[in-house]
Amino acid sequence: MWFRRDLRLGDNPALLAAARAGAVLPLFVGDEALWAPSGANRRAWLAGCLAELDEATGGHLLLRRGAPAQVVAAVAREISAGAVYAAADFGPYGRSRDEAVGAALAEASVDFVRVGSPYAVAPGAVTKPDGDPYRVFTPYFRAWRAHGWETPRPSPRAIRWAEGVAGERLGGVEPPAGVALPPPGERAGLRRWAAFRDEALAGYVERRDRPDLHGTSRLSPYLKFGCVHPRTVLAGLGDTPAEERWRAELCWREFYADVLWHHPASARRSLQPVMAAMRVDRDEERFAAWAEGRTGYPVVDAGMRQLRAEGWMHNRVRMIVASFLVKDLHLDWTLGARHFMAHLVDGDLSSNSHGWQWVAGTGTDAAPYFRVFNPVTQGRRFDPDGTYVRRWVPELAAIAGADVHEPWTIPALPLGVEPYPAPIVDHVRERDEALSRYRALRGG
């Protein structure tokens, strides 16, 4: 059983199929091509998930580094495996990697069996009646619901683990100093789901946009690595507005995976060709100010600092900081997307690339180009007491209430307080600049 992004024993069709076939060797391949660009936060968290999986398999998880085509085939030969089982991968890299692995295994006369996927509805499974893929979320959501998904699989009772194969240890996987990551692994993921379901789901519609509250599920890292499968949580959802709303959020993940499956190049390039001609600036100092959380716009800086400290950022704040990078600083969305992928524990290529493209107006969203987030308005609306900003921007701790979103209007801060930067750009001015650049593009 080759584990990739399905690091769990429960509700795992590929593992069940492997266990039915005989003794199972659980394998994880430390693939440099995925490991290197993951960033220290995600690497550390993944290592934690692997440690938990190792424990859950009674210490049988085999870890090998190297190129999967070589490693998987070599291990299969070593243990005279009858077949290699895995869940299908639909990402651009995963597809080419699996093709190479399949070829290497075929040479060794070993079957490569793919069962299930990281999604409730696999990419490519839902199309318009004419067979074309959807490019708009809402019709995709309707079709996705109508398509439906299987009920969760039973947990495997007794798996016979293969013995006596030497593995390696992961090294250099501690999170950077001061970074606090969520607890990794399947058990923690199921606990997180249960806590969300019991405590926050009922208020999801009202609280989901509030970064100062715990109103979201925070399941994204667990879904990313398959510690929890979406099918498992979908089975626990009813039809209240809150449940329907959260189901739609799960569907967004699947929609973007579907879009990327049909348009692999959209991971790094604008989905709408016309938008590739957008005039962007290059300004390393401004990018650094954004990345380090010193733009002088409190909610932007709070978000960027939360990203550094937790490897996670509230979704509403992701939109705000992304809008700021693209529409206030006029920098290329791919720079922001890369920064997110380097720091996010939940960093997922399809969700990240297309979330950014949604903000940048280059993706599937048909919304008008003049939608530009105002960081002050957004801050006041979604962090109405300023609690979120003060948590992450201690320089502003002395400002009470929502005025913390406009520190430049406060006449004088108490002495001895760490200085907070003035806004690096004027939002009103840059908004106009962004609109004129979009207009120029439309005008031809």
Helix axis angle for 298-310 and 333-343, nearest 10°, is 40
The smaller minimum CB distance to DNA, of residues 106 and 366, is found at 366
CA-wise closest residue to 336 among 360, 308, 312, 372 = 360
> Could you tell me the smallest distance in angstroms from the CB atom of residue 367 to DNA?
5
Report the half-sphere exposure of 139 (CA within 13 A, side-chain side): 10
C-beta of residue 275 within 8 angstroms of C-beta of residue 442: no
The smaller minimum CB distance to DNA, of residues 57 and 378, is found at 378
> Could you tell me the smallest distance in angstroms from the CB atom of residue 439 to DNA?
6
Phi, psi values for residue 313, rounded to 5°: -145, 145
> Could you tell me the smallest distance in angstroms from the CB atom of residue 315 to DNA?
6
Please give the Cα distance from 281 to 261 (Å, whole number): 30
Query: Strands 111-114 and 27-30, how do they pair?
Result: unpaired
> Could you tell me the smallest distance in angstroms from the CB atom of residue 231 to DNA?
20
Cα distances (angstroms) measured from residue 409 to each of 392, 421, 428? 20, 13, 16
C-beta of residue 194 within 8 angstroms of C-beta of residue 155: no
> Could you tell me the smallest distance in angstroms from the CB atom of residue 251 to DNA?
9
Given the rule CB under 7 A, which residues bind DNA?
128-129, 132, 134-140, 142-143, 209, 248-249, 252, 315-316, 319, 355, 358, 364-374, 377-378, 381, 427-428, 431, 435, 439, 442
> Could you tell me the smallest distance in angstroms from the CB atom of residue 184 to DNA?
25
DSSP characters over 313-353: --HHHHHHHHHIIIIIS-B-HHHHHHHHHHH-TT--HHHHH
The smaller minimum CB distance to DNA, of residues 196 and 358, is found at 358
The smaller minimum CB distance to DNA, of residues 75 and 320, is found at 320
DSSP characters over 349-404: HHHHHHHHHHHHT-SS----TT----HHHHHHHHSTTSHHHHHH-GGGTTS-GGGG
The smaller minimum CB distance to DNA, of residues 366 and 417, is found at 366
The smaller minimum CB distance to DNA, of residues 2 and 297, is found at 297
Q: How far does CA 385 lie from the centroid of its chain? A: 28
> Could you tell me the smallest distance in angstroms from the CB atom of residue 271 to DNA?
9
The smaller minimum CB distance to DNA, of residues 154 and 368, is found at 368
